[in-house]
């Protein structure tokens, strides 16, 4: 015993980093070297506010697990203060939970009753099943079920499995609720843990293991119970409970603790020891398993449906040089959609996918809202919820006598099935068990060439000309919502120059919206736009890389003076007003949002569909009618000509002189625009963040 006035000497405990000073336990851990913002050799010292060694063991092990996971999986710099706060929060939540468990066990006032001990252990094993098998695989716990085999291997008496099953079902339903999932995400955000499917899965596993550990610590809560009266503790029950299918005590409520991302692996089953808390294993859980055959041999490995998005990340890494952002986004959307359909039908892994499930995906395309991808709320829905939303739209449209906006177009379905084909081939190529499948009878027929020509409107120059009489060119009220209203201001930005460029050159929206100032050069005959991959955007195809002459009308209206003004202010993009400082947004999409309302106002009832893409078609059609060869038009537009060996192998793309001659045949439709002195948007001139910028709506957009 320490003398009066002296600090009691610390006594190390058998749990790593756990020490005792007097009657109080402390957790003292060295900060890993990987935390570069912490001083080398620094330590975290945290009082656990408890003197009971069982509670201290549980909290100490959980904090050790947290530190190990942060060391292995750390992506963002973290200070010692942040680490300290995270550990303190974990300690406090664990202490509160242990108190709740103790109160729940004593609520009947029978501290010596063996049934109270058994109820805690049954609840603990229900939590442990969720930790081991996750919330996507629903265990029946019938004989032969993997969950039943796991319990048996850990020495759980068969007479208690029905009660464990009842508790497990209740917990399983609650864990799959939106409230529980939102709680996990909220806590991950609170501690700056990236919202990633793998992190989310690890957080839930750590939570369930923490609840199980607390419930398994029965020695302190039930010291008077006679262990010889329970099969759980090596004894026997002469008078078993009337019905083990219905537990006497409800399951301990789900209380959120900080999501400590435990390593993703299943530990080797060990015999259950009542005298000590089962330690959490930090070995990595493999994301794939082998399909067990009837003779005990193993076949090809399987991939859990819950891990489809993680495997998609590998596919995206393989395709990084071939996919642009929109292609990757479409492919990811398909994988999520297919995953939702499989989960709806109870498919747990790749080896269970059949031709039937491909057919169900095809029907799913017909039952969901046409524009589901434009709604953050709908993107978060499950397959069943999305179909229910489609049914609501059908019922409402029937009442209103309108056509319901339900079902994807044939072109979109063809694209999605192509993306699915790519993903499943990736799985098969990496050795996963994937059954035989075919899209025969599922994929819509490709439109005939004649019908394709009629689908897209090709506006003539005179149809486009009213756009250049809008307030953007004649004078607008202000630089915000008043751009479409008449006023004294003519601002030079993307809304001013891009419609001119699209009309005369017919490029894709992102090609011009993502131009850099370094992409403008000069040759012997004039200024040139260099379309190439840059820091602002990638190009769609190899033939998209090309040189285009700058139209004379663009120069007349001050385009080069505008670029010089931006250069002097330190900008790198030709159209900085299209970029957000908060997200990696698509500049072409931003331009679409800005100019489409003005375009509708200018054209009125003559407005055509696919507004900006139609400008590309209109330019090509106008040049063709003027006698320009299709091969030259394709070279200007950045398309791959289908003219045989001569156009593909034996000739180079059209040169700048030939392009200038071809483009001169397009009529001048901007002659009515009066040149004005260059006037930048106020926030561009002051180098301020864009007033329209907002945080990403979801994690997918934030990562991109």
Q: Which two tokens stand for residue 415?
A: 């694209």
d(C-alpha 636, C-alpha 692), whole Å? 34
H runs (alpha helix) in 514-650: 552-556, 559-569, 587-603, 611-625, 630-637, 645-648
The number of angstroms, rounded, from the C-alpha of 69 to the middle of its chain's C-alpha atoms is 22
pLDDT category at 64 given cuts 50, 70, 90 is confident
pLDDT at 274: 33
29-33, 304-308, 480-484, 575-579 — most confident range = 575-579
d(C-alpha 155, C-alpha 549), whole Å? 78
d(C-alpha 280, C-alpha 64), whole Å? 10
- Between 127-131, 299-303, 361-365, the lowest mean confidence (pLDDT) is in 299-303
d(C-alpha 438, C-alpha 416), whole Å? 14
pLDDT at 108: 47
The number of angstroms, rounded, from the C-alpha of 159 to the middle of its chain's C-alpha atoms is 43
Name the DSSP class of 489.
B
Give the closest residue to 430 by CA, choosing from 574, 274, 318.
318
pLDDT at 627: 93
d(C-alpha 146, C-alpha 269), whole Å? 13
Going 371 to 377 to 383 to 389, the CA torsion angle's sign is negative
CB 147 within 8 A of CB 139: yes
Task: Count the Cβ atoms, other than its own, within 10 Å of residue 279.
Answer: 14
d(C-alpha 19, C-alpha 28), whole Å? 7
> How does pLDDT run across 256-308, given as a tens digit for each residue?
444 433 333 334 443 333 333 333 333 333 344 444 444 444 456 888 888 88
CB 250 within 8 A of CB 108: no
d(C-alpha 249, C-alpha 115), whole Å? 10
pLDDT at 258: 40
pLDDT at 280: 33
> How does pLDDT run across 547-561, given as a tens digit for each residue?
999 999 999 999 999
Q: To 10 degrees, what angle do helices 611-625 and 494-505 make?
A: 40
d(C-alpha 607, C-alpha 600), whole Å? 6
pLDDT at 111: 56
pLDDT at 271: 39
| Helix, strand, or coil (residue 130) | helix
d(C-alpha 485, C-alpha 39), whole Å? 59
Reply yes or no on whether the pLDDT at 519 is more than 70.
yes
Q: What's the start-to-end Cα distance of the chain, in Å?
A: 60
CB 396 within 8 A of CB 389: no
> How does pLDDT run across 80-94, given as a tens digit for each residue?
565 566 666 666 676
In terms of C-beta density within 10 A (0-12 exposed, 13-18 middle, 19 or more buried), how is residue 544 classed?
Answer: buried
CB 264 within 8 A of CB 287: yes
Reply yes or no on whether the pLDDT at 114 is more than 80.
no
The better pLDDT of the pair 220, 482 is held by 482
d(C-alpha 393, C-alpha 405), whole Å? 7
> How does pLDDT run across 601-639, given as a tens digit for each residue?
988 888 887 777 888 888 999 999 999 988 888 888 887
Reply yes or no on whether the pLDDT at 115 is more than 50.
yes
pLDDT at 304: 87
Residue 290 has, within 13 A of its CA and on its CB side, a CA count of: 8
> How does pLDDT run across 454-468, given as a tens digit for each residue?
667 889 999 999 999
Average confidence (pLDDT) over 500-505 = 92
CB 521 within 8 A of CB 530: yes
CB 46 within 8 A of CB 63: yes
Percent of the chain with pLDDT over 70: 74
> How does pLDDT run across 132-157, given as a tens digit for each residue?
898 888 888 888 888 898 898 888 88
Percent of the chain with pLDDT over 90: 18
H runs (alpha helix) in 10-159: 53-73, 80-105, 114-133, 146-153
Angstrom CA distances, 5 to 2, 8, 10, stand at: 8, 9, 15
The better pLDDT of the pair 699, 412 is held by 412
Reply yes or no on whether the pLDDT at 641 is more than 80.
no
> How does pLDDT run across 166-203, given as a tens digit for each residue?
888 888 888 887 777 877 777 666 666 667 777 778 77
| Helix, strand, or coil (residue 362) | helix
d(C-alpha 676, C-alpha 475), whole Å? 10
Average confidence (pLDDT) over 556-573 = 94
d(C-alpha 317, C-alpha 323), whole Å? 10
Q: Which residues contact 49 (CB under 8 A, 6 or more apart)?
A: 24, 91, 95
> How does pLDDT run across 198-252, given as a tens digit for each residue?
777 877 887 787 778 777 877 766 677 777 777 777 666 544 443 333 333 444 4
Q: Which two tokens stand for residue 254?
A: 């789900």
- % helix / strand / coil in the chain, to the nearest 5? 50, 10, 40
Torsion of CA 479, 485, 490, 495, to 10 degrees: 70
Mean pLDDT of the chain: 77
Average confidence (pLDDT) over 327-350 = 86
Q: Which two tokens stand for residue 342?
A: 């499989």
């Amino acid at each position: 015993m320490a003398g009066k006035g002296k600090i009691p000497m610390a006594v190390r405990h058998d749990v790593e980093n756990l020490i005792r000073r007097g009657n109080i336990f402390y957790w003292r851990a060295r900060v890993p070297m990987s935390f570069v913002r912490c001083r080398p050799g620094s330590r975290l010292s945290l009082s656990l506010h408890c003197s009971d060694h069982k509670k201290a063991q549980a909290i100490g092990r959980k904090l050790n697990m947290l530190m190990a996971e942060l060391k292995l999986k750390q992506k963002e710099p973290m200070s010692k203060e942040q680490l300290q706060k995270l550990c303190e929060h974990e300690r406090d939540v664990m202490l509160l939970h242990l108190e709740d468990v103790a109160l729940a066990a004593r609520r009947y006032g029978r501290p010596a009753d063996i049934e109270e001990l058994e109820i805690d252990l049954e609840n603990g094993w229900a939590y442990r099943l969720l930790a081991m098998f996750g919330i996507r695989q629903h265990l029946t716990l019938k004989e032969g079920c993997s969950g039943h085999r796991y319990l048996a291997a850990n020495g759980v008496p068969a007479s208690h499995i029905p009660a464990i099953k009842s508790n497990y079902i209740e917990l399983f339903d609650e864990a799959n609720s939106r409230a529980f999932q939102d709680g996990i995400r909220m806590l991950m955000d609170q501690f700056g843990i990236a919202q990633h499917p793998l992190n989310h899965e690890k957080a839930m596993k750590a939570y369930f293991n923490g609840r199980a550990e607390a419930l398994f610590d029965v020695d302190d809560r039930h010291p008077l119970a006679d262990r010889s009266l329970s099969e759980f503790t090596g004894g026997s029950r002469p008078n078993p409970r009337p019905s083990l299918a219905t537990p006497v005590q409800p399951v301990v409520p789900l209380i959120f603790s900080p999501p400590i991302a435990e390593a993703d692996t299943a530990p080797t089953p060990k015999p259950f020891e009542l005298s000590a808390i089962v330690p959490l294993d930090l070995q990595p859980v493999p994301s794939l398993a082998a399909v067990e055959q009837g003779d005990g041999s193993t076949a090809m490995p399987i991939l859990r449906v819950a891990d489809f998005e993680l495997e998609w990340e590998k596919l995206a890494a393989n395709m990084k040089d071939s996919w642009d952002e929109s292609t990757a986004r479409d492919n990811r959307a398909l994988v999520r959609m297919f995953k939702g359909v499989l989960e709806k039908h109870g498919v747990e892994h790749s080896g269970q996918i059949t031709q039937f499930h491909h057919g169900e995906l095809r029907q799913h395309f017909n039952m969901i809202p046409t524009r589901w991808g434009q709604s953050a709320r709908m993107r978060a829905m499950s397959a069943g919820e999305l179909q229910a939303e489609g049914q609501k739209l059908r019922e409402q449209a029937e009442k209103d006598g309108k056509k319901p906006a339900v079902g994807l177009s044939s072109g979109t379905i063809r694209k999605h099935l192509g993306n699915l084909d790519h993903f499943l081939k990736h799985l098969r190529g990496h050795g996963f068990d994937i059954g035989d499948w075919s899209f025969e009878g599922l994929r819509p027929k490709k439109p005939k060439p004649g019908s394709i020509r009629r689908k897209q409107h090709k506006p003539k120059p005179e149809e486009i000309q009213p756009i250049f009489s809008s307030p953007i060119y004649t004078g607008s009220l202000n630089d915000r919502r008043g751009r479409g209203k008449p006023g004294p201001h003519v601002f030079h930005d993307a809304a001013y120059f891009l419609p001119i460029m699209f009309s005369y050159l017919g490029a894709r929206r992102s090609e011009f919206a993502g131009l850099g100032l370094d992409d403008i050069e000069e040759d012997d005959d004039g200024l040139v736009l260099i379309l190439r991959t840059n820091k602002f955007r990638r190009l769609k195809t190899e033939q998209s890389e090309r040189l285009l002459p700058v139209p004379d009308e663009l120069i007349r209206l001050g385009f080069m003076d505008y670029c010089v003004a931006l250069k002097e202010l330190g900008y790198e993009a030709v159209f900085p007003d299209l970029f957000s400082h908060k997200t990696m947004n698509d500049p072409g999409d931003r331009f679409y949002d800005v100019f489409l309302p003005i375009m509708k106002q200018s054209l009125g009832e003559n407005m055509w569909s696919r507004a900006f893409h139609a400008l590309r078609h209109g330019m090509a059609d106008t040049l063709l009618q003027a006698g320009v060869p299709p091969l030259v038009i394709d070279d200007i537009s950045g398309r791959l000509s289908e003219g045989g060996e001569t156009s593909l192998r034996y000739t180079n793309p059209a040169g700048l002189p030939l392009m200038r001659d071809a483009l001169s045949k397009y009529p001048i439709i901007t002659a009515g625009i009066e040149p004005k002195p260059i006037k930048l948007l106020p926030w561009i001139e002051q180098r301020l963040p864009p007033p329209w910028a907002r945080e990403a709506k979801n994690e997918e957009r934030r990562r991109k």
